[in-house]
Amino acid sequence: MSFTEVALSVLYLLQEAKIPLSIEQMSHALAESSEYTYLDAAISVNNLLEKNLIIKETNPMGEFYTISVDGRISLAHLKAEIRGSVRRELSAFVQENFDLLNIQSKVYTRIDKLDSGAYQVMLRSYDKDLSMNDFILTAQDENEAKTIATNWERHADDAIAAIYSVLMKDI
């Protein structure tokens, strides 16, 4: 594993995803597809930023990265430096996880323990930088709160559609 291959793998992942990704999402994909670690991804992202091969976007969900035009050009010339097995694994990871990767950049959850012992789960969705939907639910225990948060992260679009459907009945 060379530094060049890690950096090129990050560029390849961003090109395949076609959506902005966080360092956490990239490091997870790289760990699933190769022996790369979070530290490898973080160092590569910083170096790619310095060379203007990726672009950092900050939104209420955090920092997300996309491949720049210069990054695409560099990748086109150096793609062969990435092992074929890593390219195949990264492409498969993006294909299998696209919906989850996409929704993770658009939803936010926070769990707070209340004095009563119950938990408050804040659910929020974004469109670009605007908060579009805010919901606060009460959960009886931590496991229930985590289940709500996890399901929001996976199914926010469906949940919002269901709520609107119920609230718009008889109109």
The answer to whether residue 167 scores a pLDDT higher than 90 is no
Q: 84 lies in a domain?
A: yes
What would the pLDDT profile of 68-106 be if each residue is shown by its tens digit?
A: 999 999 999 999 999 999 999 999 998 888 877 776 667
Dist CA 25 CA 64 (whole Å): 9
pLDDT score for 138 = 95
Total domain count for the chain?
A: 2
| Cα torsion angle, 32, 38, 42, 47, sign | negative
- Looking at the structure, tell me whether residues 89 and 21 fall in a common domain: yes
> How many whole angstroms separate alpha carbon 139 and alpha carbon 157?
21
In this structure, the answer to whether residues 35 and 90 fall within a common structural domain is yes
In terms of domains, do 84 and 148 share one?
A: no
| End position of a domain, from candidates 97, 128, 149 | 97
Domain membership of residue 102 (yes or no) is no
Final residue of a structural domain among 68, 97, 126: 97
Whether 7 and 91 map to the same domain: the answer is yes
120 domain residue, yes or no? yes
User: What whole-number distance in Å separates Cα of residue 7 and Cα of residue 86?
Assistant: 12
What's the domain range around 140?
Answer: 107-167
Q: Is residue 30 part of a domain?
A: yes
Residue 115's beta-bridge partner residues? Answer: none
pLDDT averaged over every residue in the chain: 86
Asked if residue 159 and residue 83 are part of one domain, the reply reads no
Is position 127 within any domain? yes
Q: Which of 62, 97, 132 is the last residue of a domain?
A: 97
86 shares a domain with 42:
yes
119 in a structural domain? yes
Of 5, 2, 14, the closest CA to residue 91 belongs to 14
Q: 3-state SS string over the chain?
A: CCHHHHHHHHHHHHHHHCCCECHHHHHHHHHHHCCCCHHHHHHHHHHHHHCCCEEEEEECCEEEEEECHHHHHHHHHHHHHCCHHHHHHHHHHHHHHHHHHHHHCCEEEEEEECCCCCEEEEEEEEECCEEEEEEEEEECCHHHHHHHHHHHHHHHHHHHHHHHHHHCCCC
Are residues 92 and 138 part of one domain? no
- State the CATH number of the domain containing residue 87: 1.10.10.10
Which helix (H) or strand (E) segment holds residue 132: the answer is: strand 130-139
Asked whether the whole model's pTM tops 0.85, one would answer no
| Number of DSSP helices (H) and strands (E) in the chain, helices first | 6, 5
The mean per-residue pLDDT over the stretch 153-160 comes to 84
